[in-house]
Every structure is written in C-alpha cells, then in structure tokens.
Structure 1
C-alpha cells in the first residue's frame, strides 16, 4: 500500500496523498513523486541532471537541462514539502497531478556558499498542476503550470 510516508525522503517530504486511488492513479502518483524527488535532488546536489531524462518528455528535459546549465554551481538546502491534492486520470495515456509545493524552508547558495535565495521564485508555497503522459511504457512528466502563489498548504 502506498502512503505519504512511504513516498517521502529526508529532503523531499510528501505530507499527504489522496485516498481511494485506482491502479492507474496510483501508478501516476508514484511516477510523479519519483520525478519530483529526482529533479529536487538535482537542485539539492547540483549534479545528476541526466537522471531526469527517462522521467520526462524530451521537451521538458531540455527545459530542465537549460535551467541546470544556467544555475551551475548553485545548490539548494532545506526540505521541500509536497501535498498531493488530486490525481486525475484523463485517459489511459494522460493524467494530471495537483500539488502544493511548500518551499518556504529552502535556501539557495552559489558555488562560494553565499545565500542567493530569491523569495520571489523559491521560498513560497506553490499550487502546481503537473501533466503526465504514458510514453515508452512509463508515466512521464510533460508539463507543469503554477496555479497560485502562497495560497495552498502542504
């Protein structure tokens, strides 16, 4: 049985997941959490951008790679808290995950260890709608939209 605790790590905490998910919704949830954890680990460690490639579409991977290259040497510290509000199975090959990403505990540091946190882009609470597609035998993140800033609770 999948629980919020079983999906959590020390730096990437899942605070809640919806109840009563069917098999497809559960697979989408697990794929989303895996993707989200892997990408947060890229920003936490400043390494491993290639680990995101099998978890996202080619277009989204390019965006992640571009963001990674423009922030080279920068790392993030703290804990991100994610509440999964809903998992929508739109079709056998498309789904959406509605989350609240609480990044209020995070701080960004440059390669010299200077705090370069920008509260406008990092330290808020963001309601995010993630679109997942079933491609090459696995669920992949294809798009993310921020729906609100500092209104949701994780």
Structure 2
C-alpha cells in the first residue's frame, strides 16, 4: 500500500508539473510599461478622433458636391480615413490586450498597427495635398473651403 501511495503521489506530481507548464502565465508589467502602454492608448484615441473628424468632413463635402468632378476623390478619401480609423482601433485593442496579460506579442502587434496607421495618415495627407495642388483639381467651392 505504501508503494502504491508513493507511485500515486509521484504520478500526481508529474501531472501537476505538466499542467502548470501548459498554463499561460501572466506577465506582470512594470509601472513604466503600464504608463507607456496607457500613453500609446491615448495616442490611438487622439488619432481615432482626428480620423473620425476627417471622415465626417468628407461626408459633408460628398453630400454637397455629388455632381462635382472632385466627388470621387472625396469618396475615396473618406474610405481611406475609415481605414486609418480602423487601424488605430486595432492598435488600441492590441495595447489593451497587452495591459491585460503582459504578452509581448500584443505589444508588438500594437506597435505594428501604430506604425501602419502613421504611414497611412502621412500618405493620405500628402496625396490630398498633391491633389489640391494639381491642375486637374477643380477650384474648391466656397463650401469645400469652409469645411476644411
């Protein structure tokens, strides 16, 4: 009976070790890491707000210039800003997951989404500026000038 108890105890110990290695351990973040993640979330929120403002501006312009030659440009611009908004939203989600469990893959995902969103913002703002400066663009209506 004693041998049986020893064997049973030994098997139970092995089972505990195996199970504990299968459990994903939460990484405990330092105060500095939490502070940085929260700052990054704030950046995401600011940029999402900015992108939403751009979406709203383009919607107003689109509603008023439907017969204008620049209509397609503003329609595409609205879709681009929607993509940027969603990219910032993905970054925010990743930062929140990182704060929840400290897993570095979420931090890396958040950084990648943030970098993509910054690149998209820069690209679309440059494109918008080039479009306005091009000779192809019709002169802005008074309404278009006031909305921006």
Give the number of the structure whose residues are more often strand, by fraction.
1
- Give the TM-score range, shorter chain: under 0.3
Give the number of the structure whose residues are more often helix, by fraction.
2
Bigger radius of gyration? 2
Q: TM-score, normalised by structure 1?
A: 0.24
Higher relative contact order, structure no. (Cα contacts within 8 Å, ≥ 6 residues apart): 2
